[in-house]
Amino acid sequence: MSVTGWIFNLRYHFLLLSGALLFMSVAHAADNDRQSLASIVGGGAHFSWVIFHELQPALEKLLDRDIELYGKDSALGLGCNAGIKNATQNTPDHETFGFVCCELTQKEIKEKKLQLHPLAHEPVLILVNRSNPIDNLSLEQVRDIFRGNIRNWSEVGGEDRPIVVVTRLHCKGRPGHWKRILPQAKMFRKDRLNVKAADDMVRKISDFSGAIGHTGSTWKFGSGDRIKPIKINGYAATAENLKAGTYPFYRTLSAVTIKSASSDVMTLIREVQHGKAFRQIAQKYELLPLNKNNP
């Protein structure tokens, strides 16, 4: 090889090495930039947590940031109140948002300077023990059972078995949710079992053959849960029936932020509201999306 060729070859390999080093440097800087950004933290009610949890990998990829989510089983006191509190803890170096499974009052939104971002209507399932032959009740029969006017399954065509009413009357100061069964806690029968968590609701209905209760459609039932949802007026708890107005029980799942939430937090929420990936989640849990891009 001539001296000229040798020099050209050396320069060529030098340029290749420089390019590789530059690429590694840029990639390393990008990794450092991501690591330097604190995680976005979301917390709140389990039933809305399910949506963000299942979309978490896609949301992290979209933002190129880590997201921490709290709310599974609404453990450790998490719920709508915790979702609101988490939203209000947002600062420029600690980006947060919350999620709730109940509608908020306008007074609460104004006083706490919140911004509500509705996601979907979630059917509230009316549950009975799997051994119960009843598969359908009228709307008034359900309400009379929860009132205590009907106390034996034989009164609605079932077996001669006492009815055990199980309730979870959370967020009593907020509209919607269980209030679509009966609008006030005092209207439910006094001798009922009132539980504090959805998993307790499912256990109680599984334990008592004559039990009836309620929970949201995003709850994941285990193979050992001896429960089944029933139809109301002949209509199942589906998104289609919610849209048609034929299934009467539902609640609104939403994200919640302060008005000065960061652009990354707002991008995250808008992606859930309008992104294509949410359609699959909605179909899986029979949710009725509330935004135009999610029919």
Can you give the pLDDT at residue 202? 96
**Other Cβ atoms within 10 Å of 131 Cβ, number:** 11
The pLDDT, as a whole number, for residue 28 is 40
What torsion, rounded to 10 degrees, do the Cα atoms 79, 80, 85, 90 define?
Answer: 100
- The single-letter DSSP state of residue 38 is P
Domain residue ranges in the chain: 36-121+252-289, 122-250
Classify domain 36-121+252-289 by CATH number. Answer: 3.40.190.10
Nearest Cα neighbor of 13 from 21, 25, 24 is 21
User: For residue 36, what pLDDT is reported?
Assistant: 54
Instruction: Write down the CATH superfamily of domain 122-250.
Output: Periplasmic binding protein-like II (3.40.190.10)
Are the folds of 36-121+252-289 and 122-250 the same?
yes
| Whole-prediction pTM | 0.85
Rounded average pLDDT per 10-residue block, the chain, 295 residues: 50 47 41 64 95 96 96 69 94 95 94 96 98 98 98 98 96 93 97 94 97 96 95 98 98 96 96 93 97 66
Q: What amino acid is encoded at 159 in this protein?
A: E
Number of Cβ within a 10 Å radius of residue 73: 13
Q: What integer pLDDT is reported at residue 37 of this predicted model?
A: 75
